[in-house]
Structure 1
Amino acid sequence: MNALLAVQSAQAQGIGEATGDALRSVVTFLPKLVGFLVVLLIGWIVARLLRTAVHKVLDRVHFDRAVQRGGIGAAMARSKFDASGLVAQIVYYGILLIALQIAFGLFGSNPVSNLLTEIVAWLPRAIVAIVIVVVATAIASAVRDLVGRALGGLSYGRTVANVVSWFIIGLGVIAALNQIGVATAVTLPILITILATAGGIAVVGVGGGLVRPMQQRWEGWLSRAEDEVPQAKAQAEAYQRGREDVRRTQEAPTQHVRPVSETPAHAATMPTPPVGNPVQPQPNPGQRPPQ
């Protein structure tokens, strides 16, 4: 009987301790939960305010117009956001991520908090990568227009302009990938694929009879280039002559001479013919006048 009472007493004591531990855990967790919700609410409010402020500032400085001139507007034509709205959304979600990181940090070290910390630490690098791509795209658009206008009279002018533009964009993408730390994992397989493709084309061309067609194609390209080089040279010379004529016209003084009517010297010495009936010749003395 005493043993049974001892067992029941031990069970009751264990239940009481477990209940106390649970209550203490709840009491300890509730302030953290309240703090978590408060931090999320404050972060959400701040994110919305900053999104509105950034959108208004970018609209005031005509950011969308600058993006359109930079050549990125065509890439964003099908997007439901304009350029300023996209930047504002990036700022909004960035602030929310920071708020989530702080909120989960209230619970101590946990996998979610560690993941958010790594993402927040990676955000500045992502922003720099986006800026690099935007700048590279703007430069590529300007260079494409310049090369296209310079080689506008040639048949391959547009092709050269597009190749140069895509080359600059490719450099910007590689720099952006290097900035976010995935250049080695992405660019190396792409480079290997390009080299393997080029090697396969060379092998097939050598062994499959593509040498002669490619030789004829190259001869045609070189002949066309030789024919169009004088045209390009003539266009450059005409452009230079036009610039020299404009400069000479601007440097020469403009003189407006008023024409003056002068009487010639020999005209002043000539006698004035008589006005009236002409004088009849007089007959000689002793001559009979005509009947």
Structure 2
Amino acid sequence: MLQPHPAQAQVPEWLQDPVAELVTFLPRLVGALVILLVGWILGRVAAGVVRRLADGIELDRMVLETPLGRILGGTERAVSSAFGSLAKWFVYGLAILAAANALAIATLSEWISTAVAYLPAFIAGLLVIVIGFVVADFIGDVIERTRAATESAYASWFANGARMFLYFTAIVIGLDTMGIDVGILYVFARALAWGLAAAVAIGAGVAFGWGGKDYVADNIDRWMGRTASVTPDEGSGSGGRSGSTERSRSSQSRGTDREPGSEPGPGPSDDDD
């Protein structure tokens, strides 16, 4: 008597390849999910560390007084939160890149690799801008504090001018560090520098002339009087010297014009008597 064999399920041929690919893909998917979970945890940890470092050096207080602080929100922890978010997303980007490599998705890996490679340059450029704004504000405050010592009414102008120049320089260097083409900004900066130099030169000339006219008007009479008192003495002295010179020359000429033997002889002596 024949024993009946249990029925065996057979996968249709059109499903065999997709099922095989799914079985092969599942371990990679699990690995990618684990990588993303670890990256999420590390990103949050990195954000907290960066925020604490920024709070430790009081970066928020220094940047809050600059225009950049107002751009970032003007709150007490705007800068530290911004840098913490950048650090967090940088770690997230690394985790996503690793997960894409684990999934063996070439297009996604290439795109994420480009984005992650750009993040360090972006963060470095932002650091340059932030530090440049802080330094510019510090130098401007130093110039303004010299106003009390120098009693100059133009100290605030110089302070604001120095701030604007350093702000612009920090932005240009930061954007260049980020890899952004700033050629047009260099052209603008060159034209602005020439314009400022011309304005300063014209202003200095006008200020010197306008301020010096009162000084000249107050002292012109004294200068003319001093000149008048000195000129006659010099004229008489020179006239006396010229007269004596002419007399000596005339006497010499008379002596040389006499003929030989025409000199007067000796006078009568006592022996002739």
On whether the aligned pair clears a TM of 0.5, the verdict is: yes
Match of 1:181 in 2: 179
- Whether the 8 Å contact between 1:154 and 1:228 is mirrored in structure 2 is no
Q: Choose which of 23, 35, 39 in structure 1 pairs with 2:35.
A: 39
What is the CA–CA distance in structure 2 between the aligned matches of 1:196 and 1:65, rounded to whole Å? 34
The reply on whether 1:50 has 2:37 as its aligned counterpart is no
What is the CA–CA distance in structure 2 between the aligned matches of 1:49 and 1:169, rounded to whole Å? 32
Are residues 220 and 172 of structure 1, via their aligned partners in 2, closer, same or farther at CA, if it must alter by over 3 Å? Answer: closer
What is the CA–CA distance in structure 2 between the aligned matches of 1:194 and 1:59, rounded to whole Å? 35
Deviations 1:145-190 (A, max 9, x none): 22233356444432222122111122222222221221xx3x2234
Q: Choose which of 79, 93, 102 in structure 2 pairs with 1:97.
A: 93
- Whether the 8 Å contact between 1:130 and 1:176 is mirrored in structure 2 is yes
Higher helix proportion: 2
What is the CA–CA distance in structure 2 between the aligned matches of 1:220 and 1:164, rounded to whole Å? 18
Match of 2:123 in 1: 127
What TM-score do you get using the length of structure 2 for normalisation? Answer: 0.59
What TM-score do you get using the length of structure 1 for normalisation? Answer: 0.56
Q: Choose which of 78, 81, 88 in structure 2 pairs with 1:82.
A: 78
What is the CA–CA distance in structure 1 between the aligned matches of 2:73 and 2:105, rounded to whole Å? 44
- Whether the 8 Å contact between 2:47 and 2:85 is mirrored in structure 1 is yes
Cα offset, 1:68, TM superposition:
4.5
3-state SS in 2 of match to 1:106: helix
- Whether the 8 Å contact between 1:151 and 1:157 is mirrored in structure 2 is yes
What is the CA–CA distance in structure 2 between the aligned matches of 1:197 and 1:54, rounded to whole Å? 38
Aligned length: 199
What is the alpha-carbon root mean square deviation over aligned residues? 3.8
Cα offset, 1:58, TM superposition:
3.5
Match of 2:24 in 1: 28
- Whether the 8 Å contact between 2:60 and 2:76 is mirrored in structure 1 is no
What is the CA–CA distance in structure 2 between the aligned matches of 1:78 and 1:69, rounded to whole Å? 9
Stretches of structure 2 that go unaligned for 5 or more consecutive residues are 1-9, 213-273
The 5 Å alignment of 1:272-283 reads none
Stretches of structure 1 that go unaligned for 5 or more consecutive residues are 1-12, 202-214, 230-291
The 5 Å alignment of 1:1-291 reads 16-68=12-64, 73-78=69-74, 81-151=77-147, 153-182=151-180, 185=181, 187-192=182-187, 222-224=205-207
Deviations 1:22-65 (A, max 9, x none): 11011112222222222111111221222223333443454434
